[in-house]
Amino acid sequence: MTAGELCNRTVYIIRADEAVLEAARLMKKYHVGCLVVVEERGTDRVPIALVTDRDLVVKGMAEAPSKLETMQVSQVMSEGLLTARDTEWMHDVRKKMRARGVRRIPVVDAEDRLQGIIAFDDMVEWMAQELNDLAQLVSREQKRESETS
C-alpha cells in the first residue's frame, strides 16, 4: 500500500502568518491536534510545517502568554517538516516516521502539493490489518495441510 492510498484526504490547514488563536480555534472546531501549515502557490497548497496543540501550549502559552493575542503560527510551528510522497510504500513511510520520531506526516505529490496526512493511529490500523492478513494466510495453510494428511 502507498501513502497516497492510506492517507486521510481531509486535512485542516493554516498559513504561517495567521494568528495562533485562530489555530487553536480551528483545532477545537474540527477536534484535531494538528494543522498543516501551508504556503499557497497559485491554487496549490504546499506544506511547510506542522503546528500542534502541544506547540500552542509549550511555545505559545508557556513561553509568552501575554503575547498570545498577536502571536503568529510561524512563531510556534514545528521546523524541519518531514513529508511522504503519495507513491511511497507504507513500509518506507513507517521507517521515516520512526527514524524522526514523528506521529504525523503530510503526504504530497510529485510537485509537493498537499494530498493528505497520515497519523500514527492510521499507521497502527494499517499494521494491524497487515498482521491480520498474515495470520489468515497461516491459518489457511494449516487448514489445507490438515485436509491433505
Per-residue pLDDT of 18-59, as tens digits, reads: 999 999 999 999 999 999 999 999 999 999 999 999 999 999
Sheet-wide strand order for 13-15: 13-15, 34-41, 44-52
Selected residue with higher pLDDT from 120 and 148: 120
User: Domain holding 37: CATH number?
Assistant: 3.10.580.10
Residues above pLDDT 70, as percent of the chain: 99
Residue 18: domain span: 3-119
Higher model confidence: residue 111 or residue 148?
111
How far apart CA 111 and CA 14 sit, in angstroms, is 20
Is residue 145 one of the residues assigned to a domain?
no
Assess if residue 15 is contained within a domain.
yes
Q: What predicted TM-score, i.e. pTM, was given to this entire model?
A: 0.84
Q: 126: pLDDT confidence band, cut at 50, 70 and 90? A: confident
Count Cβ atoms below 10 Å from residue 14 Cβ, excluding itself: 20
